Structure 1
Amino acid sequence: LSKELAQLISSSRKRVIAIGFNAGQFSQFAGLSLKSKDNVYQIRSTNEESDTSLESGVRVLDVSRLKGKALYTYKADDGKAHPFVWKTGKGNVYIGLTDLLNNNLLAAKQLRQAFGETADSTLLYLRLEDISPMSDEKLLLQAGSYLHKRNIPFILSVIPVYVNPETGDKVYMSEKPKLVKVLRKLQDMGGSVIVHGYTHTYRYSETGEGFEFWD
């Protein structure tokens, strides 16, 4: 990291929450030593009595040389519990995850706790995801109607342009009048339309899969 950024964060009097690499460059985590560990399937919160099994392995960074206490540990090949989420004595939190997509619920839980949120204080939104010009308007209407009948507010996450990953051809929402009609009907049912990117692609990835604004 640049010296300016490291100094700026190190001089902050507010609590710092760091994820992944480079945290040791901040004074809040001075002396931090990290060791990468792939394919961890058993983790445990220090507030819980038993391990949590993960369906897919998660990549973690083993934490050492920090004062404070472990918030989460994983079981290593040696049978011992090794920390990968840590809270320092001054309340700074380090989250040793290198892939937030692989287990984003774990990261979200840690962030809520770090910011002092509780389960009953967190506002959740139900979102109908990645609606593009190639979406099936009949299935979309069924899903929205199901929620509407149960008085469940919902968000319509719309991608205006679909890009064929093989040919690069684009399909625009204006070319799908039936789908537009369904979206407007769902709006009348209480659905809120949000723009979920423009193409939601990155280079040659499929629409709905890529990090469009990554670089």
Structure 2
Amino acid sequence: MLILAIDTSTSAITVALHDEARVLAQESHLDPRAHTEWVTPLIASCLSAASVTPGDLTAIAVGNGPGPFTGLRVGIVTGLTMGHALGVPVLGICSLDVLAEQSAALTEGELLVATDARRKEVYWARYAVRPGSVQALTSPAVDRPADLPDEVRALPTAGRGPALYPELFAHALPVLDVDAAMLARVAVERTLAGTPMPVEPLYLRRPDALTTAERAAR
């Protein structure tokens, strides 16, 4: 098994290769508005570092988001295009799940993941961390952070929500963006467990860019 993982749902454009036993290569670049420019070079760099070719891949994993429309779409379209060209499956995983997995070693009990949704909002979901498992307690949602219940905002929180709204998220965890190495690991684990992983982009709201007709109809 050789999985290429791609996520462009957060401020990091992140790519990794995993052979089921370990991460072979990973690359990331931090820029919330340059996903298109960076995703292909990062993929090429990972393949080169691991001395593999696209034809060696057996699957591609992409972060389903939620994330801002344009950035999220870059990673998903890239993964789907490569999967179609190579004839390999494309696996979709909620990006908030990955951030929760990245945070599991830092806390126990419940945690919150809150990422930047722009428009003064956050994408968020709650999770339960138990020995050996991380379980989603809610579906991903998008809201103004002040509209979240006090007891939710009081939870240990991963993502850029606490950095953007420190007065509202008091317990920040040092996990800001998706790490494709963890995305790849989750993809391997779910593949071995037989868990379905459809590619279902979680935009959660209308794209920022509207056509002239859409603007006129608003």
- Structure with larger RCO (C-alpha < 8 A, sep 6+): 2
Query: What TM-score comes out, normalization by structure 1 length?
Result: 0.24
Higher helix share: 2
Pair member with larger Rg: 1
